[in-house]
Amino acid sequence: MSAPRHPSKPATLHDVAREAGVSLITASRALSKPSLVSDQTIARVKQAVEATGYLPNLLAGGLKSRRSRLIAGILPALSVAQFLPTFQSLTSALETEGYQLILGQSSYDPAREERLINAMISRRPDGLFMTGLVHNESARQRLAAAGIPVVESWDFTDRPIDMLVGFSHVKVGAAIAGFFLSKGWKHIGVATGDDHRARLRCEAFQSTLGREVPTVWVPAPSGVARGREALRRLLAIAPGLDAVYCSSDQMAQGVIVEAQQQGIRVPEQLAVCGFGDAEHAAHLSPSITTVGVEGARIGELAAQMIMDRCEGKQIDRPVVDLGFRIIERDSTRR
């Protein structure tokens, strides 16, 4: 059995000040604005910190200073590999400056997303990072009203709530279609997740092709198993298929495995293109043609923009289009 523990109350700045023989505020300054305090006093205070085992209470400090040094970060789900580099670099960049990330998962559900945004605002974060755009109007207004820096990402619009770092999925879809057209492939299919951004790419892909092509939708987040399933379903409706665009590299991998399993040679008989340039894409056999996106850079830039704004700086380019590039590898070279 494990019982609740009732430890002695943690030391407060008050205890430190008493131990050091200085006033509360001097202790406070010694720790957070040392330039205002004599070296001697700083030394005494630091010693008192050691002696008492003091750790500051950032909640209390934040209440008065209105700076929580907390940044909210919302993504659909941690299991979506695409966003990991973004959140990894975002979290790292924040940590080095003493900020921490509060994580929220919206599960691709707009209602949950709105509840989550409200819950986050209630924590008075100094900023908020959103994967995707906020479409819900009342959530947009709440965020605007909160008056904190907000970075939307992984998508594009000229009118973000506040700031944006991303790229256009419409352009991605069109570029992939252009690539497919340049190859002269005739029997094209699509295996795609059903989330908003994948839909944008898919629609642009088809409208650039100038026609509808056989398409299989799978629930996001799409994985290897979904990719295998998708190819089976695609072949059932389009037996002569010779090229597939997949909404993620995980799906693409599933499609490739399923093809090989069925004795269909990739790329000779079936060309496959993914999206996201996942870690493994370059190292499989065949290596996967995909769309490279600067996921880590998104997190880095967003962290910088949010923190700069927290320092009161102006942001020269509040809307950044990082673009993308098609990375041709073996899965489409024949």
Q: CB 175: neighbour CB atoms within 10 A?
A: 20
65 binds, among DNA, a second copy, none (CB under 5 to 8 A by kind): DNA
**First-residue to last-residue Cα distance in the chain:** 64
Residue 164's SS3 state is strand
Minimum distance, C-beta of residue 176 to DNA, in the bound complex (Å): 49
How big is the site for DNA, counted in residues (CB under 7 A)? 29
Residue 230's SS3 state is helix
Q: Which is nearer to DNA, 29 or 228 (CB)?
A: 29
Minimum distance, C-beta of residue 245 to DNA, in the bound complex (Å): 49
Residue 218's SS3 state is strand
Q: Which is nearer to DNA, 44 or 169 (CB)?
A: 44
How big is the site for a second copy, counted in residues (CB under 8 A)? 77
Residues of span 159-188 touching a second copy by CB under 8 A: 162-163
Q: Which is nearer to a second copy, 103 or 236 (CB)?
A: 103
159 binds, among DNA, a second copy, none (CB under 5 to 8 A by kind): none
Cross-strand bridge partners of residue 320? 165
Shortest CA distance to 81 belongs to which of 229, 293, 328? 293
Minimum distance, C-beta of residue 210 to a second copy, in the bound complex (Å): 34
Residues of span 284-303 touching DNA by CB under 7 A: none
- Which residue is it, tokens 């970075």? 151
Give the residue, chosen from 19, 26, 83, 275, that forms a contact with DNA under the rule CB under 7 A: 26
68 binds DNA (CB under 7 A): no
Binding segment toward DNA, per CB under 7 A, in 26-34, 75-83, 151-159, 169-177: 26-34
Q: Which is nearer to a second copy, 12 or 207 (CB)?
A: 12
As a whole number of angstroms, the distance between CA 193 and CA 266 comes to: 22
Give the residue, chosen from 53, 97, 236, 325, that forms a contact with a second copy under the rule CB under 8 A: 53
Residues of span 38-67 touching DNA by CB under 7 A: 38, 40-41, 54, 56-57, 60-61, 63-65, 67
> What is the CA 309 to chain-centroid distance, rounded?
20
As a whole number of angstroms, the distance between CA 119 and CA 117 comes to: 5
Mutual angle of helices 13-20 and 24-32, in 10-degree steps: 100
Q: CB 10: neighbour CB atoms within 10 A?
A: 11
Q: Which is nearer to DNA, 53 or 219 (CB)?
A: 53
Single-letter residue type at 204:
A
> What is the CA 321 to chain-centroid distance, rounded?
15
CB-CB contact of 147 with 121 (8 Å): no
Q: Which is nearer to a second copy, 32 or 38 (CB)?
A: 32
Burial of 79 per CB tally in 10 Å (0-12, 13-18, 19+) = exposed
Residues of span 80-109 touching a second copy by CB under 8 A: 81, 84-85, 87-88, 91-92, 95, 98, 100-105, 107
4 binds a second copy (CB under 8 A): yes
263 binds a second copy (CB under 8 A): no
- The 1-20 site mask, x for binding DNA (CB under 7 A), equals --------xx-xxx------
What are residue 259's phi and psi, to 5 degrees? -60, -50
As a whole number of angstroms, the distance between CA 122 and CA 115 comes to: 11
Give the residue, chosen from 261, 265, 268, 333, that forms a contact with a second copy under the rule CB under 8 A: 261
Minimum distance, C-beta of residue 194 to a second copy, in the bound complex (Å): 18
The residues, ordered by sequence, that sit 6+ positions from 313 with a Cβ below 8 Å of its Cβ are none
Q: Where does this chain bind DNA (CB under 7 A)? A: 9-10, 12-14, 22-26, 28-29, 31-32, 35-38, 40-41, 54, 56-57, 60-61, 63-65, 67
